[in-house]
Amino acid sequence: MNGLPVIIALILILSLFIFFLYIFLQKKIYKDILIKKFLTKNTIREYEKQINLYLYILNNLSDGLTIVDKDKNILFVNPAFKDNVRSAAFPYSIKKFEFLIRNFEINSLVDNIINKDNLDSIEKRVSYFDKANEKTVNCKVFKIKDTEKYAVIVRDVTYLQKIENIRATFIQNISHEVKTPITAIMGFVETLKNGAMDNHATGIKFLDIIEHHTKRLNYLIDDLITLTKIETGRAQIKLEKINIKSSVEHSLSLFEKEIKEKKIDIVKNIGNGLFISDFSKINQIIINLIQNAVKYTEKGGIIKIEGSIQGAKTVYNFIAGVEEASVLWDNLSRAETLKEFFFFSIEDTGIGVSYTNLLRLGERFFRVNSSHTTEYKGTGLGLAIIKHTLKLLNGAAVLKSSLGNGFMFTFMIPLSQDYINIKDGEQDAPL
């Protein structure tokens, strides 16, 4: 009996130990669970942050991106995809790639990747017309590693394609324009060296031809330099006082010989006004326009020239009334501060231009290609220079013509408010 209390005491002590051990272990396990739960939540938050970061980057890419499964169900698409490839008004409810994009070539690229196990990536440049405008995109489709998912990336390279086309056309044109006179010069030099110099009259004739082609090359280089300066923003605007009548009369005098030979009647309506702008650039525009009018007007024809200062209302009404068959080059700002414009118009009774060719006037090296114009020579840069110069001066122009009905070119250049109150006769324009 004496040993019973001891046993009971031991049992109680053991029970208490087990109880406290249980409490301790339970707290530790609960603590570990809390720690794990806390860490899991933090990990999830970190993953969410990473996912949101990647989504932000993908949604703000300039390249269009779509991810599809093997059945071409859309799993992800970013906003740029709609901008880079013609598609619907970007309803995110669209689930099938075929409904998102209607382009046959791009759909075929995706089908090829999905259906061919040995093909992991394919890339192609695709061109198509979107609302009458040609667009070009680089499209790359590839299988995402270790998945049954596929990425479609499109990059709009329309502008780069246009640059490439312009560069190729420019090289082709400049090669032709330079090679033709050089070939002629070399041919006549060789003829002179082979004995033509012994005949004085023949020698002079050939030297005149060589001089003509040399001048043609010089004009071409000058025009290219002028156009390049304007296009690259290196052309400076120098403000001077310009006398309208004096400037037009001086430009006409440069073609006095041709005008007399062709018996062209010049009808002028030129104001005596003074204004301030870039004299050399405006003078170059007027000279080029008169040169073209004289060149393309047949014998006994008429050239009408008008030059004046006009108010903004008159100019804006003139532009608003432009006929559909005319072409408008508009760089004008409709700012209320623009009150006065230099208004110039030249109209001839020459061979005229078809509407199709009228749309292309102003392109570098473009010449009207018809039997009517095969005899007329030039660098093909005159109207391109005019177009870019007007853009530099924030001006506008209206071109009106049709085959057999002459040609009319009208341009308007805004005058600074600081210079519109110059009195007539204050100072002549530089010549």
Domain residues of the chain, as ranges? 63-156, 161-231, 239-419
Tokens of 72: 């071409």
E strand or H helix at 208: helix 200-231
Residue 119 Rama label (left phi>0; alpha psi -120 to 50; beta): beta
Percent of the chain with pLDDT over 90: 17
β-pair type (239-243, 149-156): unpaired
Fold topology of 239-419: Heat Shock Protein 90 (3.30.565)
Q: What is the mean pLDDT of the chain?
A: 80
Q: Where does residue 194 rank: exposed (0-12), middle (13-18), buried (19+ CB within 10 A)?
A: exposed
Share of the chain above pLDDT 70, in %: 81
Whether residue 93 contacts residue 83, with contact meaning beta carbons closer than 8 Å, is answered with no
pLDDT confidence of 335, banded at 50, 70, 90?
A: low
* Residues 66/81, Cβ–Cβ less than 8 Å: yes
Which one has a higher pLDDT value, 120 or 287?
Answer: 287
**pLDDT band at residue 379 under the 50/70/90 scheme:** low
Which amino acid is residue 408, in one-letter code? M
Task: Give 171-226 pLDDT, tens digit per residue.
Answer: 776 777 777 788 888 888 888 888 877 888 888 888 888 887 887 787 778 777 77
Q: How far is CA 332 from the centre of its chain?
A: 18
Q: What is the pLDDT of residue 338?
A: 64
Written as six digits, the tokens of 17 are 């130990």
**Mean pLDDT of all residues in 323-330:** 86
Q: Phi and psi of 327, rounded to 5°?
A: -120, 135
Residue 210: its pLDDT value, please?
86
**Which pLDDT band, with edges at 50, 70 and 90, does 300 fall under?**
very high
CA–CA dist 424, 26 (Å, integer): 104
> pLDDT tier at 334 (50, 70, 90 boundaries)?
low
Residues 6 or more apart whose CB falls under 8 angstroms from that of 167 comprise none
Q: Indicate the fold that domain 63-156 takes in CATH.
A: Beta-Lactamase (3.30.450)
Q: Kindly tell me if the per-residue pLDDT of 374 is higher than 50.
A: no
The top-scoring range by mean pLDDT among 31-35, 96-100, 315-319 is 315-319
pLDDT at 431: 39
With 80 as the cut, is the pLDDT of residue 59 above it? yes
Q: Is pLDDT at 370 greater than 70 in this prediction?
A: no
pLDDT at residue 426 is higher than 50: no
**What is the CATH T-level fold of the domain 161-231, as seen in this structure?**
Helix Hairpins (1.10.287)
Report pLDDT digits (tens) over 235-276.
Answer: 778 888 888 888 899 889 989 999 999 999 999 999 888 888
Phi, psi of 373 (to 5 degrees): -120, 10
Three-state SS for 389? helix
pTM reported for the whole predicted model? 0.58
